[in-house]
Structure 1
Amino acid sequence: MGLSDWIRTTSANIRSDGPSFAAKHAAQELYLGAVRGCAPLFDDGKIFWSDEWDILVLLDACRPDLMREACSTGDHPWLPSAEDLQTVRSPASSSHGWMDAHFDTDRSLSKTGYVTSNLFVHDFDVEQFAAFSEVEANLELADGVRFIEPRAVTDRAIDVWRRRDELGVEQLVVHYMQPHTPFRSHPEWFEEVKTDTGWGLGFVELRDGKIDRREFWTAYLDNLEWVLDDVDLLLENVDANVAVSADHGNGLGEWGIYGHPNGIPLSVVREVPWVNVSGRDERTHVPDVPDNYLHGEAALDESAIGDQLEALGYAD
């Protein structure tokens, strides 16, 4: 956020929410700017491209400690023990930053497929992918609170991978929106929340104590379980070496960080889980995919993209 944007946002916050909120938010943005200035002192992070995986699964905004809780349940046999979970340092603290590090490079993506529920990809050239599909929000659990169900992503990923020879796909990136907010178990939290921070939906309310941190964590874990059930399904319907990771983490107040602001070098938003697992296509699932779901056959219009990003807590 530049100085002019900071002044404009602060002025708008004074008018809409009063001087107390505006002052707190302005101070937080100044602090984030100082943290961003320290980025050259930190490791750049790992670029995820590798010949060791065929399919890369991204669980949006998944912290390692959240994944460790899922590991400890034993509900997903492919997960390691909590103690054995590996982590890597992401090259970015936001989805847009992760895409910039992987999609806006000299690397050819002409044999890479991308199935995503994160529409920041439309800031990049989607024509470079061998196969590309974006998934719309398809579930509303509270007034104006829309979700992208994991199953729609899974179905398209399975279909693309089974058709990989036809489509010319050698590697596939599957980008789920969960465990990112909003949470299916508490959609009412997100009916009236701040969407102008760029941190993600609900984090101003968490910072200000309007959402209990313990309850937030429980709902966050439930969102992770929601998507892990679909990763289970994916793994038994693809013949592939699969890496499961995240594009970035989430701050819950550590070092004054809430959500996942762009350009933050701290581990709370840069350390992510990494699991290598082998998938085997046992044909337990017939994917339900719409006609013409690949890019070039049918695509979201710009207004739909903007609406979906706003529903996730990102302003234009």
Structure 2
Amino acid sequence: MGAIRNVVEGVKLWARSSVKAIRKEGLSGLSESARLLYTHLLRFYGLIHNYGEPIYDAEWDVLIVLDACRADLIEEVVAEYNFINFDATNSLGSCSPEWMEKNFTSSYLDEMQQTAYITGNPYSETHLDPTEFELVDEVWRYAWDEELETIPPDPLTDRAIAVARDAQPDRLIVHYMQPHHPFVPSPLGEGMHPDTGERLEFSDLEDVWTRLQRGELSREEVWEGYRDNLEYVLESVETLINNIDGKVVITADHGNALGEYHMYGHPIYAPVWPLKRVPWCEYEATDSGSYTPDPTAWKHHATTDDEALSTEDKLAALGYI
């Protein structure tokens, strides 16, 4: 019922947005209105015809989740990394909340209670129950980088290695925020204010998917930034894999659409392959002991209580709200 309610609210939002667009842009606003209606109808279809593989139906000791990583994106860089044995699967979700809701259910409570979850995704606040897991470490709460407007990968790697060595959980999930936008090495979300000339941060501009849709960015520019962000996180993933034991799987919660099916980004309940087709790369890892996490390394990212961003601020910086 909650999913249907979300779609109904989405249709109401579409109606309000359509009226606003037509009032502002005249008949040219009809094109965007039609695209949004199409997206909502597709999402409604996705409620009825859902597909994907639950993560707990597979065998793994360590599940590395690269947020918003398409299968064909990681396939492009396979030759650069000896720990990526490329394969793919279908995700249960087309965005993070849906992925969490559908994987972490009462059917898998026994497995969840033996799982440590290290996460950089702020949706854990509303879509995970920490009491159902052996451990939930919401690294995004204390290692958020306000300058980057995201959480960098290294604090997650440090916590994952420490938890794996000290707590030795049966299963470990490490949920990195990259390659999800903002693209750290190639910040397409930065720019100059057209009137004042002042530098704009990621959250001051419309998200990269809106700019791609409007033609302000080319598909090639966005894809390159997307790939650079994947390579950025894989540097830290390599440190993790070299300092952990067990069967490791690299996957994603969902992908991104770059105009396929007239869609951009990753709307919820959208059953299209750019959003649902994700990596499933298996690797047998051995802890080399070559790296020792520094528990204070992330502290330079932290803020005081008065300065701390809210969860909503962080989700907005990531383009979710």
What band does the TM-score fall into relative to the shorter chain? Answer: 0.7 to 0.9
* Mapped partners of 2:91, 2:126: distance in 1: 20
3-state SS, counterpart of residue 89 of structure 2: strand
Deviation (angstroms), 1:135: 2.1
* Mapped partners of 1:272, 1:29: distance in 2: 25
Structure 2: runs of 5 or more not aligned? 1-6, 191-201, 300-304
3-state SS, counterpart of residue 272 of structure 1: strand
Contact in 1 for aligned 2:114/2:171 (Cα 8 Å):
yes
Share of identical aligned residues, percent? 34
From the superposition, tell whether residues 29 and 54 of structure 1 become closer, same or farther in structure 2 (CA, over 3 Å).
same
From the superposition, tell whether residues 237 and 50 of structure 1 become closer, same or farther in structure 2 (CA, over 3 Å).
farther
Residue 154 of structure 1 corresponds to 157
How many residues of Structure 1 are paired with residues of Structure 2 in the alignment? 289
Residue 296 of structure 1 corresponds to none
Contact in 2 for aligned 1:150/1:176 (Cα 8 Å):
yes
Letter in 2 for 1:178: Q
* 2:221 corresponds to 1:218: no
Letter in 1 for 2:174: V
Question: Residue 79 of structure 1 is aligned with which of 49, 60, 84?
Answer: 84
From the superposition, tell whether residues 160 and 19 of structure 1 become closer, same or farther in structure 2 (CA, over 3 Å).
farther
Partner deviation per Cα, 1:201-242 (whole Å, 9 max, x = no partner): 310111111112111111111100011111110011111111
Residue 320 of structure 2 corresponds to 314
* 2:290 corresponds to 1:284: yes
Partner deviation per Cα, 1:115-137 (whole Å, 9 max, x = no partner): 11111111131222211111236
Deviation (angstroms), 1:303: 5.7
Residue 198 of structure 1 corresponds to none
Residue 183 of structure 1 corresponds to 183
* Mapped partners of 1:177, 1:10: distance in 2: 32
Deviation (angstroms), 1:51: 5.9
Deviation (angstroms), 1:187: 2.3
* 2:12 corresponds to 1:4: yes
CA-atom RMSD in angstroms: 2.6
Describe how 1:1-316 pairs up with structure 2 within 5 A: 1=7, 2=9, 3-11=11-19, 18-19=25-26, 22-39=29-46, 42=49, 44-50=51-57, 52-72=59-79, 74=80, 76-80=81-85, 85-108=86-109, 109-124=112-127, 125-136=129-140, 138-141=144-147, 146-165=149-168, 169-187=169-187, 189-190=189-190, 191=202, 192-194=204-206, 201-290=207-296, 304-315=310-321
Structure 1: runs of 5 or more not aligned? 195-200, 294-298
Letter in 2 for 1:91: L
* Mapped partners of 1:133, 1:102: distance in 2: 18
Contact in 2 for aligned 1:164/1:170 (Cα 8 Å):
no
TM-score relative to the length of structure 1? 0.83
Deviation (angstroms), 1:78: 1.2
Letter in 1 for 2:267: P
Deviates more, 1:223-232 or 1:184-193: 184-193
Deviation (angstroms), 1:25: 3.4
* Mapped partners of 1:264, 1:202: distance in 2: 19
